[in-house]
Amino acid sequence: MAAQAAQTQQQTSTTSNNNASSNNQALKMEHLVASLQDPETRENALLDISKRRDLFVDLAPVLWHSYGVVPALLQEIVSIYPLLSPPSLTNHASNRVCNALALLQCVASHPDTRAQFLNAHVPLFLYPFLNTVSKTRPFEYLRLTSLGVIGALVKVDDTEVINFLLSTEIIPLCLRTMELGSELSKTVATFIVQKILSDEVGLAYTCATAERCYAVGSVLGGMVAQLAEQPSARLLKHIVRCYLRLSDNPRAAECLRRCFPDQLRDPAFTAHLKDDAATQKWLGQLLVQLGYSL
């Protein structure tokens, strides 16, 4: 009995300590979020919250519903527009706005705030960052973090998200990054296009005209050619998924047959997939659907 009582007391103490820790975290989060409202304390708060955002379970709703916080984050974004052209963005300015974007990614990811995030058209504030061509580190980091926000939206299969994105210029912006970005930003941009294509509405939109089919197919082919010199199994996986989904549409399949890269039928090139059985399977399905022999 004494041992059981001691165990119960220990469990009660542990629960009490956990509750106290959770309360302290919540108070810390609320204090930091409040600090975002003051321009004098905002920069440090952005850095601190972005580092700890995974520890704060309810961060997204608190950010969205706290007075003045979302306007403050948008102010951080808009303030660097003048630095985009001509390109004069510094590492410090890039890091600061990327911390703000990291918080917006939390809002975009959360089921309780995602719809409101879209209804407010917040993603449109990020598009100028995706429209840049500079390959310097500050611009590349900005591009990648912006893509992360869009990627958070499309991770959940939601036709409303796809409809919103298709009403904007997200596909041309992703195609630009797929041509000019680093391997990592190309991978995220290709993932976004893949998720759009995986939705019936997204596939129908992309394949509505031969011009759209060719634009996507041309960029995918260009990336495959680049991978012949700098292989990336991670990026190739998303490229194959895009091709496979496009091949489900008769118009797109016909377009792909005219611009399909020879490398994807070259065993020496596809050897990069030897450890990725799933992508090997998708590539085999793709070749069959396009009428090529395995």
CATH code for position 174: 1.25.10.10
Residue 206 in tokens: 């992309």
Task: Name the pLDDT band for 87 (thresholds 50, 70, 90).
Answer: very high
- Ramachandran sector of residue 68 (left: φ over 0; alpha: ψ -120 to 50; beta: rest): left
Check: CB of residue 235 under 8 Å from CB of residue 190: yes
If one counts the domains in the chain, the total is 1
Does residue 31 fall inside a structural domain? no
Task: Name the pLDDT band for 11 (thresholds 50, 70, 90).
Answer: low
pLDDT of the residue at 29: 87
Does residue 271 fall inside a structural domain? yes
Percent of the chain residues past pLDDT 90, beyond the cut: 81
The dihedral built from the CA positions of residue 99, 100, 101 and 103, taken in this order, carries a sign that is positive
Does residue 276 fall inside a structural domain? yes
Does residue 285 fall inside a structural domain? yes
Q: Which residues are CB-contacts of 279 (< 8 A; sequence separation ≥ 6)?
A: 233, 236, 237, 240, 241, 273
What is the helix (H) or strand (E) element at residue 176, kind and residue range? Answer: helix 170-180
Does residue 106 fall inside a structural domain? no
At 24-70, the pLDDT tens digits run: 777 888 899 999 999 999 999 999 999 988 888 889 999 999 999 99
Centroid of chain to Cα 244:
21
At 185-238, the pLDDT tens digits run: 999 999 999 999 999 999 999 999 999 999 999 999 999 999 988 999 999 999
Does residue 202 fall inside a structural domain? yes
Q: Whose CA is closest to 264, among 112, 246, 250?
A: 246
Does residue 29 fall inside a structural domain? no
Give the span between the Cα atoms of 6 and 274, in whole angstroms.
56
3 state SS of 290: coil
At 88-133, the pLDDT tens digits run: 999 999 999 999 999 999 999 999 999 999 999 999 999 999 999 9
Does residue 265 fall inside a structural domain? yes
- Asked if the model's pLDDT at residue 19 lies above 60, the reply is no
Residues of the domain holding 166: 157-293
